[in-house]
Structure 1
């Protein structure tokens, strides 16, 4: 079987995109998804995203981690899917679409900068040396020293697989402050089971966590990830975060055909 695919990346977080409006892709074939995402035996990506029809919005987002399993919301993947929808001619410069965590609104400019509205956050759990919150996916946020040499792989795995979050686990973000409203972060992503160059829901979680814990007074926060720069903005009132937007580049890399048999 041959599949036409498109490769996109958002600040180094890369995805295989497939136009599945005709439902030709075998959605329950986790081994196929895993193979396509494999960086040695497949196309190579942090995840695979299907664009499908939706009766009440412009399209539906179906997201799989690179381990082949369908997963929770992916912020950078959502931004890249908006760029993909524009390339396909489904949308122009703004859109609404449905994902696993509900309805999303987004805009895209001519330079490929996508601003994606994320879910509201009504609970930020502070636990001494870390914060936990859900921004469409669960995120552990922890401040550390010497982030540039921090062992994200091993320390992230300890938390992800530890007793703190049970069988489901959590994404894990390690953070350092670089300015009044700027932070650097590195993320261990569940499903990828390793560090990625960027995580959109993670950047969103870090921005909200830093505001909630008083590390910044700003409602517009710049996040330096390993693959570039993201911006997160929000409106906060009494610990409730609304109008949460994740903004950054979403770039087309290449298009191809992969044969699987």
Structure 2
């Protein structure tokens, strides 16, 4: 099975073309667990699968490394775009991609090698987020995790995200509390967890514990979610640079949320599966 491995600011993916595979989009869970294993296979945070679409130019099917399917992945979408464009699956520089989170419109800037993706609309509504509470929004709510109390903010950015504002980023805290928050019973479908430090009105830094993956060098939906929450709290502008350990993307908050950043091919080869 031919594959490419790519990364978007350190968030790495395996991409495969399954347009002519008769399997359904929901049947690749076990394949994701096999090929994403970092000891026994190529290894990645997730698996990107190209499928034909009746609604858009192409469909992106995405699975986390633990085999769970996700509705959306921002860095994954940019890597998916590079894969389908470079392999002439789609030949336009502006095109549409079907995801479980709806149709995403793409603009591939060949000149500066960046990809602008429409991340969709965010939602604070509890009935969209499926939180086990009676609140209309879940903003600045206190929650006790192990030995520490956190003020958490929750937003649906295609997938669920907790955003926690901190004075200083501490990776040890991300590892200590991230998994606990991800699996807290207030989030029936689990959640992604982001710790964010605000540098100034135009720049923030983020560490993300990704649902189904663990700590990641970059999470596109998470970086978008952090920008949305920080803007909602009047901490940053609607146009903000968001930096993670793996790199930086630009987030623009309009009627939709837009993310602009790079996608890089690492290698290609054949998988024995």
> Counterparts of 2:107 and 2:72 in 1: how far apart (Å)?
18
Of residues 170, 182, 185, the one that matches 2:191 is 170
Matching residue of 2:252: 233
| C-alpha distance in structure 2 between counterparts of 1:259 and 1:161, whole Å | 34
CA distance in 2, matches of 1:63, 1:149: 27
Alignment CA distance shift 1:121-1:188 (3 Å)? same
Cα gap change, 1:180/1:64 in structure 2, threshold over 3 Å: closer, same or farther? same
Tell me which residue corresponds to 2:133. none
SS of alignment partner, residue 202 of structure 1: helix
Cα distance in structure 2, aligned partners of 1:70 and 1:228: 25
Secondary structure at the counterpart of residue 71 of structure 1: coil
**Contact 2:122–2:158 (8 Å) recurs in 1:** no
Distance 2:94 2:264 in 1: 17
TM-score, normalised on structure 1? 0.91
Once superposed, what is the RMSD of the aligned Cα atoms? Answer: 1.5
- Structure 1 position 160 matched with structure 2 position 171: no
- Structure 2 vs 1, CA of residues 85 and 181 (structure 1 numbering), >3 Å: closer, same or farther? same
Which stretches in structure 2 are left out of the alignment for 5+ residues? 125-136, 142-150
Distance 1:35 1:183 in 2: 35
Q: Summarize the alignment of residues 20-169 of structure 1 with structure 2, pairs less than 5 Å apart.
A: 20-23=18-21, 28-89=27-88, 90-110=90-110, 111-123=112-124, 125-128=138-141, 129-166=151-188, 168-169=189-190
Match of 1:208 in 2: 228
Query: What is the total number of aligned residue pairs between the two structures?
Result: 249
8 A contact 1:83–1:112 mirrored in 2: no
Give the TM-score normalised by the residue count of structure 2. Answer: 0.87
Q: Secondary structure at the match of 2:167?
A: coil
Which residue is equivalent to 1:246?
259
Q: CA deviation at 1:149?
A: 4.5
Which blocks of at least 5 consecutive residues in structure 1 are unaligned?
Answer: 236-241
Q: Partners in 2 of 1:49 and 1:112 — Cα distance?
A: 20
User: Alpha-carbon deviations, 1:148-168, whole Å to 9, x = none?
Assistant: 4542112101111122213x1
- Deviation of the 1:57 alpha carbon: 1.4
